[in-house]
Chain A
Amino acid sequence: MPLEETIAPAGTMTTQIDAALGWARKYSIFQYPFVTACCGMEFMSTAASHYDLDRFGAGFPRFSPRQADCLMVVGTISHKIAPVLRRIYDQMAEPKWVIAFGVCTCTGGFYNNYSTVQGIDTIVPVDLYIPGCPPRPETVIQGLVMLQEKIQKTGGRPRRVVEAAP
């Protein structure tokens, strides 16, 4: 007789440990806001009481990468600061996720020039892209909910083997 039928009448249910972990993790995202430019104003607006990111369990910015789950890269990334961003990412403990917030982080935006990184996914792996210049708080919240779905599905396991920074 399968295990489920044996124990089900006793008032128990079976599940996957990953699903439980994913459920727990998606409502306790500790974010690290890596804010470099004007998108930061929109991030503040999203995080403040009117739009209230805390409703989704992501209201707790940690300014130490060791304590953060989710790296939010907010604003234009120049080549000069790219090694810093990479080191911040490397310092974060697994499981970790990266959000590219705003079009500059997604593709470089309209800064196709000598100084700007053409998309932070050339430096760090990105889980979620939020376009917009800057994105409205509603867009950010939709992105956060999509990230929560992703966390639920993957259970927060380390997604990939990350090679050391060059």
Chain B
Amino acid sequence: MSAPATQGERREIPAADARAGLEALKAEGFNVLVDLTCVDYLAQKRAPRFDVVYRLMKLDAAEGRDLGRVEIHCAADAQPVLRSVRDLWPVADWLEREVWDMFGVGFIDRPDIKRLLMYETFVGHPLRKDYPIAKRQPLIGPKSGEKADSPSFNILKPTVVGE
């Protein structure tokens, strides 16, 4: 195995042009979407607040070699501006659902997107920096403020509060 051709260049693309840029990269040979994730820059007061990150790789499937990587950053807000890339890389279907679930960043051509990890009745997006750290939304069991009849719950977790 030789070393990767490049260690991965970082590129900023405006969210509105992201789809065209990613299509061009796919045509250039970036055939694997390694990761699609998001960062919340609430504390840094950045506008737009979120940074959606696409990490791409050129994979030589015959030899199993990594021929280069690139990292695309798109500043985005909670209002959907990005277009889905499901048709370019099918794995984006799940990853976009995860970004929506955890950060609440939507995609304009996926209006009825479903949560991936949390349950349907969950309110809010837990990886946002303004999600209350002690907020709990259990499906069953003790809810807002009430204590369970449980020694571990009562002794070890006095700070846990409900909604």
Spell out A's residues near B (CB within 8 Å).
Answer: 79-80, 82-83, 86, 106-108, 112-115, 117-119, 121-123, 129, 165-166
Contacts and interface: CB of A to CB of B under 8 A. Distances in A.
A112 B158 CA distance: 11
A122 B148 contact: yes
Contacts of B118: 80, 115
Contacts of A82: 138-141
Interface in B124-155: 126, 131, 133, 135-142, 148, 150-153
Contacts of B151: 121
B140 A114 contact: no
B45 interface: no
B135 A114 contact: yes
A contact face: mostly helix, strand, loop, or mixed:
loop
Interface residues of B, number: 22
A82 B138 CA distance: 8
A123 B126 contact: no
Given A80-B119, A106-B152, A118 B139 contact: no
B140 A86 contact: yes
B121 to A, nearest CB: 10
A18 B150 CA distance: 28
Given A80-B119, A122-B142, A165-B140, A115 B126 contact: yes
Nearest to A114: B126
A132 to B, nearest CB: 14
